[in-house]
Chains A and B, each alone.
Chain A
Amino acid sequence: MVMRNKFNLFYQGLEQAEQLDQIQDLIVGLRDQLEVDHAVYHWVSTDGEQYGFGTYPPVWAQHYVDRDYLRVDPVILGCFQRFHPVDWKNLDWSSKAARNFRKDAISHGVGNQGFSIPIRGPNGQFALFTVSHSCDDETWTKFTDAHQRELILVAHYLNQKALEIEKGRAPEPVRPLSPREVDTLTYLAMGYGRGQVAEMLSISEHTLRAYIESARFKLGAANTTHAVARALSEGLIVVGGAAREAEGHWPGKDDITAVSA
């Protein structure tokens, strides 16, 4: 599917990124793939310090800081302490300050449409991922409807990476997978279909999907295949020789042993 490939490139690049300028390039690439005017990541710390990257014109970013728009921007005010994605149309633009801010933003090329995803990081950290564009309402609704789910994931993966880089730490160890997630990815790595895996774990396919979704998020993966590959390369799951020699039994284990014997 074309749409997913758009994000795959971004995810793979992000996984390897170690510096801010690499993330900057990735966001520019993502913006181009999405065919919108802008994509921006914006971190606001509790003491009002700002940090971000993206495609807004540098003049606008500087202007935003100089004018102290953080206090006026309905996107910040409307997303702070929230966790649902917000279409800018649904924010409160009724004050004079907000209307003037909007006019100023549009004149700097931000666009008349926007969609922002609030992110709640650890210890009260707050960040936003935004895409903005110039188009009519109908076109924008179509775009956000089609991309909302992936944009939410992009937002959170970006934030994870920003936290790593900002703190100047070695990349955080991959979040531990739970036993259920390990089972799920292991069976998928062994080539079982989702229906079979669900049956082996005695759960519905709907619930299996939750385990896959959760594992995918912990691994920062673009999709299930990528999650399996990443779990294998991180040594979080083991298949093949080691799995055959492992104690315990699961359906199909003997078949694998037989095939490779």
Chain B
Amino acid sequence: MLRYIYGDELSNFPRLQDSMHRDRATQFRDRLKWDVSVDQNGWERDQYDDLNPLYVIWENERGQHGGSMRFLPTSGRTMVNEHFAHLTDTQISSPLIWECTRFCLAPDAGPRVAGALMLAGGELMRAFSLTHLLGVFDARMVRIYRMIGASPEVLGSTGEGRDQISVGLWAYRAEDRVKVLRRAGLSSTISEAWFNRSFGYTVRAKQAAA
């Protein structure tokens, strides 16, 4: 199931929190060899985790982290603007554009988890009238996004092959939802129920201003 959790609530979900930060260490330090810091608990954390971001976490049947990502509005401090601006030749800044970083999948995550996370990104855009998500992702994710049918537009990349890191944009398009729901193998009703449980109401499509 999907959970939407702000940083200051994460400790209410100790199993999820612990397994998420450990899986992040596995993905970003061990597998991708990124220069990230891992603390004595084996948790990968960075300064953006201290800004009370919104996490979207897939909770698996054992109550553990199956996959996750982290959101911050680009009107404030973001990783993209502070570390990757040179890749994109731009500093995107708008309360209607949120950045999505630390997209992580647990080692045993099935193919549907990535789809569920993409769906959650779309639900956030739909519910809060966002125009775009701005993401940082590794080379493997480019293929995964393509498989899900939700490829971002890549604004810039650094590195080669599997070491490549890219910055990309997803624009909100209402029609993508059905496709992503299908790929994730989820119903609209259940997605709305999960959103509702986290935010206290049912997500509705907002009228997009021109």
Cβ of A83 and Cβ of B73 under 8 Å apart?
yes
| A145–B206 CB distance below 8 A | yes
* Neighbouring A residues of B74 by C-beta, 8 Å: 214
Contact A206 B93 (CB under 8 A): no
A90 to B197, CA, bound (A): 10
- Our count of residue pairs bridging A and B at CB distance below 8 angstroms stands at 113
**In the complex, chain A residues 164-180 whose Cβ is within 8 Å of any chain B Cβ:** 175-176, 178-180
Q: Are A180 and B89 in contact (CB under 8 A)?
A: yes
Judging by beta carbons under 8 Å apart, are B204 and A210 in contact?
no
Q: How far is the CA of A1 from the CA of B204 in the complex (A)?
A: 23
User: For residue B209, which residues in chain A have a CB less than 8 angstroms away from its CB?
Assistant: 3-4, 149-150
B93 with A83: CB separation less than 8 A: no
Main secondary structure of the interface of A (DSSP, over half): helix
Q: A91-B200, A145-B207, A210-B97 are in contact. List 7 more A-B contacts (CB 8 A).
A: A83-B73, A92-B200, A155-B95, A206-B169, A207-B169, A209-B171, A213-B131
B89 with A213: CB separation less than 8 A: no
Given A84, A179, A210, which contacts B199 in the complex, CB threshold below 8 Å? A84
Q: Measured between alpha carbons, how far is A211 from B90 in the docked complex, in Å?
A: 8
Asked if A152 meets B129 with Cβ closer than 8 Å, knowing A145-B207, A146-B207, the reply is yes
Chain A residues numbered 79-127 whose CB sits less than 8 Å from any CB in chain B: 81-85, 87, 89-92, 120
Is the C-beta of B119 less than 8 angstroms from some C-beta in chain A?
no
Known: A81-B6, A83-B54, A181-B90. A153 touches B95 (CB 8 A): yes
- Nearest B residue to A205 via CB reads B171
Which of chain A's residues has its CB closest to B73's CB? A83
Bound complex: CA of A258 vs CA of B124, how far in Å?
48
A50 CB-CB contact with B under 8 Å: no
Query: Does B76 count as interface, using CB distance less than 8 angstroms?
Result: yes
Closest 4 CB pairs of A and B: A206-B171, A90-B200, A178-B90, A149-B129
Q: A85-B128, A149-B208, A206-B171 known; A213 and B6 CB under 8 Å?
A: no
Give the interface size bracket for B toward A. Answer: 35 or more
Q: Interface digits, B192-208 against A, CB 8 Å rule (1 contact, 0 not)?
A: 00000001110011111
Cα distance A3–B72 in the bound complex, in angstroms = 29
Are B204 and A141 within 8 A (Cβ)?
yes
> B75 touching A89 by the CB < 8 A rule?
no
A213 CB contact (under 8 Å) in B97, B155, B210: B97
Rounded to whole angstroms, the CA-CA distance of A207 and B6 in the bound complex is 28
| 18 contacts across the A-B interface (CB closer than 8 A) | A83-B95, A84-B124, A87-B201, A89-B201, A90-B200, A141-B204, A146-B207, A149-B96, A149-B206, A152-B95, A152-B128, A153-B95, A176-B91, A203-B155, A207-B155, A209-B132, A210-B131, A218-B93
B30 on the A face (CB < 8 A) = no
Produce 1/0 per residue, B148-166, CB < 8 A to A.
0000010100000000000
Which residue of chain A has its CB nearest to the CB of B128? Answer: A84
User: Bound complex: CA of A147 vs CA of B60, how far in Å?
Assistant: 37
Residue of B nearest to A117 (CB): B95
* B12 to A: closest C-beta gap in Å: 14
B17 within 8 Å of A (CB atoms): no
B134 at interface by CB-CB < 8 Å: yes
A12: Cβ under 8 A from any B Cβ: no
Bound Cα distance A144, B171 (Å): 22
Interface bits B132-149 vs A (CB < 8 Å: 1, else 0): 101000000000000000
Nearest CB of A to B78, in Å: 12
- B175 → chain A, closest Cβ, in Å? 12
B6 contacts which of A1, A82, A216 (Cβ < 8 Å)?
A: A82
- Cα–Cα, bound, A147→B76 (Å): 22
Shortest A186–chain B CB gap in Å is: 14
Given that A83-B54, A90-B199 are contacting pairs, would A210 and B92 also be in contact in the complex, using a CB cutoff of 8 Å? yes
Within 8 Å of chain B (Cβ to Cβ): is A257?
no
Q: How far is the CA of A213 from the CA of B129 in the complex (A)?
A: 13
Contacts of B200 in A (CB 8 A): 90-92
B88 CB–A CB distance under 8 Å: yes
Pick the most buried of A91, A141, A149, A218: most chain B CB atoms within 10 A of its CB.
Answer: A149
Q: Is B52 interfacial (CB-CB < 8 Å)?
A: yes
